[in-house]
Chain A
Amino acid sequence: MSVYKHIYRTYDGRVTPAWTRILVLSRYAFAEAWSSKITVGLFTLCLLPPIVFLIGIYLANNPIARALMGMRGPQGLVINAKFFLILLQVQCWSALPLASWVAPRLITFDLADNALPILLSHPISRFGYVLGKFVALFTSLAAVTSLPCLLLFAYQGYSSPLPWAGANLQIALGLLGGTLIWIAFLSILGLALSSWVKWRVMATGAIFAATFVPAGVGGIVTGVMRTRWGFLLNLPFMMTSLWHRLLGAPESIRTDFLLPTESIAAMLVLACLLCAAMLNARIRAREVVRG
């Protein structure tokens, strides 16, 4: 088939491996997400805190720079688990607006224009479709969470006159584990809610609401029933506890409010399963009306 010779011919050239179709979906999803100036703006904002933390690490490890700035000692600039916990929390929560903005762009355009019958008529499964979108969102979020956190850890290991990195390896593992759990959860939550709300602005709001509204309900349950289990609905509380434990930082809340790690993990798994069920119900080429 040529532009000038209007005839149709079949394609008998090379065909890409089946697994690469997921990367095709991811590539187009990336392009869609990053075509928005708001995405670029949010991404830039997310990278501002690491610059502040970078300066902190530099000052903590450089007595001359501290002296030039009139600081007498490294007080208040101790680079430890608590320092990286703050970094982790700042980065993870700043990833939330980015996820809320990007996730709906990946799904709602396809749903609003009823593109799924055409997309899924190609050699790609429903799981492959979701995985492709997930990879795009996960990678975008990793660029503002895992990557800067680990780079700052590496910089601290390089700057410290002591063999710091080897002695604090748990922090690196905690940063990696903490960010991966959070962005994986945010990605699947974002995609699931976006698949149910066709209007993008509403989907963005729904992601915020799903994060914070259950926390309020959990607070009421905790207050009325005088039980710590209400915190299982409080995502910020659960994640903060989890991050403390992963980094080995001391927890500052009352011990009777502490949740077992197993129950936090179980709750997150349950939420992910619910999201998977929501995606399974919505990501279909054809809807079947019962009855």
Chain B
Amino acid sequence: MGIIDLDGLEVRLGGRLVLDGLTGSLEGQAIGLLGPNGAGKSTLINTLLGFHPPSKGTAKVFGLDSQRDRARMRGGIGYMPENDSFIGNMSGVRFVRYMAELAGLPASEALERAHEALFYVGLGEVRYRKVNTYSLGMKQLIKLAQALAQGPRLLILDEPTNGLDPMARQRMIQLIKEIRKQGNARLLISSHLLRDIDETCDEVLILKGGRIAALCNIEEERRSNRSFIELETVGATEQFSVSIRGLGCECACFPGGRIKLVIPDHIEARDLYVIASEQGVQIRRMNQRRDSLEDIFLRAMDNELGRTAHVSV
């Protein structure tokens, strides 16, 4: 059983098919939900929260049905919506406490955790100000704080970096990374920004036209891509390639001193420099592939049939 289990999930809204037979099990510590605008990311989140009833199939979170066990399921979820959603007339701490109490925390615990959550996200100094006086970045952070205050097992973040300036975005990404690193809560992060997902998630579900276009483990993709290196060299390239083959690398040489190689786990880039130095070869350029998620995403988008692609490199 995964954190989120989808079984033939179909959702119709206003007579229009928005999610079309989603099936899959999401098990990562931080799951990214990617897709172009209108792909169905927010609808999937709303369905998981029980806002939209499925017209067919089921969606389960921690084994609890999103419709039948809605109240129990929501008790373990912290939700940060995409758009502005708060009570502007309340102070930050009062708003977060209110949400924590609604989640089931006793009043005194809720107050304590509200203060803690606000300090945690960096709003400690402004917690007594009314929420409608906050800047856009602060409003994003207070949505995160209210989702954290109840101590959820699953944190759903819908476009968490929406409308943030680069510094605020970096702060948000850092917070998400910290939460992920501490490992107490699973994360489901929806975004149309590849970079956000790439930096924070270890598993990705790509939606296209309401269907699953790809479902894969980014960590594994990263591991496989980390071992793929492109070199531009000057000097005795042939001799150099023979030597690095001796280390256990798979290697292909191209004109102009270009070499593509896949290195085993125990070999570091430093070893290549050592051999190059010994043989008087200059490594002018070394390129380790880092854009794996972009590749996955583009392949998923190119897949016109929109069939599920368990991508591997």
Contacts and interface: CB of A to CB of B under 8 A. Distances in A.
Interface string A1-22: 1110011111111111010010
A25, A110, A114: most-surrounded residue (chain B CB, <10 A):
A114
Contacts of A115: 85-87
Contacts of A14: 106, 109
Interface stretch (B146-154, B205-213, B237-245, B295-303): B146-154
Nearest to A17: B104
Interface of B: 13-16, 46, 49, 51-52, 70-72, 74-75, 77, 79, 81, 83-89, 98-99, 101-106, 109, 113, 115-117, 119-120, 124, 131-132, 143, 146, 148, 150-153, 178-179, 182, 184-185
Given A6-B120, A290-B15, A291-B14, A121 B74 contact: yes
B112 to A, nearest CB: 9
A117 interface: yes
A64 interface: no
Given A15-B75, A109-B89, A285 B49 contact: yes
A25 B15 CA distance: 34
Contacts of B104: 15-16, 18, 21, 123
A120 interface: yes
Given A8-B120, A10-B152, A10-B153, A114 B101 contact: no
B14 A114 contact: no
A285 B45 CA distance: 12
A25 B99 CA distance: 10
Instruction: Across the A-B interface, give the 5 residue pairs with the lowest CB-CB distance, nearest first.
Output: A11-B151, A121-B79, A15-B104, A122-B102, A290-B14
Nearest to A16: B104
Q: What band does the interface of chain A fall in when counting residues whose beta carbon is under 8 Å from B?
A: 35 or more
Contact of B77 (A2, A24, A121, A124): A121
A11 B150 contact: yes
A121 B147 CA distance: 10
B162 to A, nearest CB: 14
A110 B184 CA distance: 31
A8 B178 contact: yes
B139 to A, nearest CB: 10
Most buried by B among A3, A110, A117: A117
27 contacts: A3-B115, A3-B124, A6-B120, A9-B151, A10-B151, A10-B152, A10-B184, A14-B109, A16-B104, A16-B105, A16-B106, A21-B102, A113-B86, A113-B88, A113-B131, A115-B86, A115-B87, A118-B85, A118-B143, A118-B146, A123-B75, A123-B104, A288-B14, A289-B14, A290-B15, A291-B15, A291-B16
